Amino acid sequence: MVTVENSDAVFPSGTVDGVELTGHVPIPPSRSFLATFRANLKETFFPDDPLRQFKNVPGSRRFLMGLKYFFPVPEWLPSYGHSTFKSDLVAGITIASLAIPQGISYAKLANLPPILGLYSSFVPPLVYAMMGSSKDLAVGTVAVASLLIASMLGKEVPPSQNPTLYLHLAFSATFFAGVFQTSLGLLRLGFIVDFLSHATIVGFMAGAATVVCLQQLKGMLGLQHFTTATDLVSVMESVFTQTHQWRWESAVLGVSFLFFLLLTRFLSKKGPKFFWVSAAAPLTSVILGSLLVYFTHAENHGVQVIGYLKKGLNPPSLTNLVFSPPHMAVALKTGIITAIIALAEGIAVGRSFAMFKNYHIDGNKETIAFGMMNIAGSFTSCYLTTGPFSRSAVNYNAGCKTAMSNVVMAVAVAITLLFLTPLFHYTPLVVLSAIIVAAMLGLINYEAAMHLWQVDKIDFCVCMGAYLGVVFGSVEIGLVIAVAISILRVLLFVARPRTTVLGNIPNSSIYRRMDQYSEAQSVPGVLILRVDAPIYFANASYLRERISRWMDEEEEKLQSKGEIGIQYVILDLGAVGSIDSSGIDMLKEINKSMDRKGVQLVLANPGSEVMKKLDKSKALETIRQQWIFLTVAEAVAACNSFSLHPCKSDLANHETDCDSVV
């Protein structure tokens, strides 16, 4: 075959017919395998370059800086002043008033002792205040993770039969979640959370909220027995097969408090000044409900109450962790799944508020902080915590300035644990149900779903898949469906890349998609195609077929008009970011089959990776470098000037081999 001509290009630099010719596309200098590998590794795992600040710093200071990386307290504590503390104090007390009833409610949702909800609002916030980098995140338990714990652990060990083992498994799951999160952060794998798309989260959260609300029918209707399944069908069956067990006292109380809570939420939406109305409402409900029960002795008339809560701070639970079969497996599985869900919510919340206040959150660092907070929690009788949206929003609205508001909340909860637990003895469960329902209704973001429908139909499908999966299947099924659709979408994008025909925009050397720009005009005898994705094994044979179909269609169109056929096919590779060995083989094949038809394949604007691989795979021996151009305009100019060449036009008509002349 003909050897590669690197230097003596056939078309010189300069200007021909108003088109700038800039010479040929260079093959980038080859880098060593190790250098490439290192660069790729860095781009994959350290895209935010967290070690940049460590450059040119002596060893001892480097250690201090590393410490500061994991414990960013010194960044803000030295300059911490009186007025900042006043803001944090107000915010901290506000979130504590929300944290206490919510904590108790969610612990009930997880079928755990209610006091665990308070324990979980004491230790983890302190750990986060030291290690976290968000100024607005308020730490606490979340409804979805609580529900997941109840459904996943409850399947293995029913909490009514063996409450101690169930409790120990919950601690173990929290421990595994913490270890998993810490490892993800240390291994710089925090980005796997990004694979839960916004659409997935909208659908998943709405589904989980629906399921959680359905579960509250137990408390609202005062039912004693209830299904352990979470899907709509089972719950409805459970509710409507025991209509004779419904307690109207419970239902009236529940609906009244729900109405009160929704009313306060409506009021607080009037303006940011009124945020405290809805922030204080849960605690107000608890106080009102408790007083009502205390004075009317409604606990004897079918209204269930929390009952005795032990006084005192978190007891240690390190020795309760379960590390042996047969139950360790379920704790591990629960831990990993809840860890991912909790992480997704916490990081999304942290990032949103950081954006509002224009500071930066390091996802991997946050992941480590969450992990450490859960490990510490699992040692001190807490269960899974993260940064819930509702509590963080209240924190932000209450004017928090630093993570100190978490410390204030922790202190307030500690005081409650030490002195005030007896006050919750008469708190009716139905009020807790109302608090959960009110919080959950805010998570059903139908507006976001409508927006998805308008902007992106596939995202809407992902969202609905997650929602319906959670509501009619289970939380895990919904998650699997949503992630599967999301990944399938990415794969399908690569498997079926868009190819478009380009045309010349009149009076310019610009070539653009003919279906987007109506004024674009085709060039006679030249078919210009653009491939909009990397060329990979997954799409190589599709592209081969699609390109040949474009050629057939174009030929047909030209024949019907009585014009000359295609002599050149220009492939615009500008959007081909990457190519693999199957892709290179495909290019070689289409070049060969075009050669047989007397059509010349021309490549325009290949990226450096494409050029490198064309060179290494010796494809440049068949697709010769003088047919590779920097721009489509240059390629077209070259085709036009070459068409006048007698040999090439012969080639197109009589299939003579012209190699010797070229």
Give residues 607-646 in contact with its own copies (rule: CB under 8 A).
Answer: 607-608, 611, 613, 616-617, 630-631
**Of residues 130, 423, 496, 650, which one binds its own copies by CB under 8 A?**
496
Residues facing residue 20 across a β-bridge:
15
454 binds its own copies (CB under 8 A): yes
Per DSSP, the chain holds a count of helices (H) and strands (E) of: 26, 8
Closest CB 309 distance from its own copies, rounded Å: 41
498 binds its own copies (CB under 8 A): yes
55 binds its own copies (CB under 8 A): no
- Would you say 293 or 393 has its CB closer to its own copies? 393
53 binds its own copies (CB under 8 A): no
**Of residues 141, 421, 539, 567, which one binds its own copies by CB under 8 A?**
539
- Would you say 282 or 497 has its CB closer to its own copies? 497
28 binds its own copies (CB under 8 A): yes
Distance CA 174, CA 581 (A): 45
The size of the interface with its own copies (CB under 8 A), counted in residues, is 91
Q: How many residues does the chain have?
A: 662
Which residues have C-beta within 8 Å of that of residue 153, sequence separation ≥ 6?
A: 159, 166, 169, 170, 173, 330, 331, 334
**Of residues 188, 265, 351, 425, which one binds its own copies by CB under 8 A?**
351
Distance CA 388, CA 386 (A): 6
658 binds its own copies (CB under 8 A): no
Closest CB 140 distance from its own copies, rounded Å: 24
- Would you say 293 or 614 has its CB closer to its own copies? 614
Q: Which stretch binds its own copies (CB under 8 A): 314-322, 386-394, 467-475, 490-498?
A: 490-498
- Would you say 188 or 265 has its CB closer to its own copies? 188
In the range 361-390, which residues lie near its own copies by CB under 8 A? Answer: 363
In the range 393-452, which residues lie near its own copies by CB under 8 A? Answer: 451-452
- Would you say 28 or 272 has its CB closer to its own copies? 28
In the range 195-254, which residues lie near its own copies by CB under 8 A? Answer: 195-200
60 binds its own copies (CB under 8 A): no
- Would you say 200 or 264 has its CB closer to its own copies? 200
* Burial grade of 34 (CB within 10 A; 0-12, 13-18, 19 or more): exposed
Q: Which stretch binds its own copies (CB under 8 A): 250-258, 424-432, 438-446, 483-491?
A: 483-491
Beta strands in 22-64 (DSSP E): none
- Would you say 408 or 482 has its CB closer to its own copies? 482
CA angle at residue 75 from 70 to 77, to 5 degrees? Answer: 115
540, 585 contact by CB (below 8 A): yes
In the range 573-602, which residues lie near its own copies by CB under 8 A? Answer: 574-578, 580-582, 584-585, 589, 592-593, 596
List C-alpha distances in Å: 431 to 247, 262, 291, 470: 14, 13, 12, 25
521 binds its own copies (CB under 8 A): no
Phi and psi (nearest 5°) for 508?
-150, 170
Distance CA 388, CA 372 (A): 17
Q: Which stretch binds its own copies (CB under 8 A): 140-148, 222-230, 237-245, 604-612?
A: 604-612
In the range 542-561, which residues lie near its own copies by CB under 8 A? Answer: 542, 545-546, 548-549
From the list 528, 537, 514, the residue with the least C-alpha distance to 573 is: 528
State how beta strands 499-504 and 511-513 pair.
antiparallel
CA atoms within 13 A on the CB side of 222: 22
6 binds its own copies (CB under 8 A): no
From the list 76, 140, 70, the residue with the least C-alpha distance to 406 is: 140
Distance CA 30, CA 564 (A): 42
- Would you say 333 or 489 has its CB closer to its own copies? 489
528, 502 contact by CB (below 8 A): yes
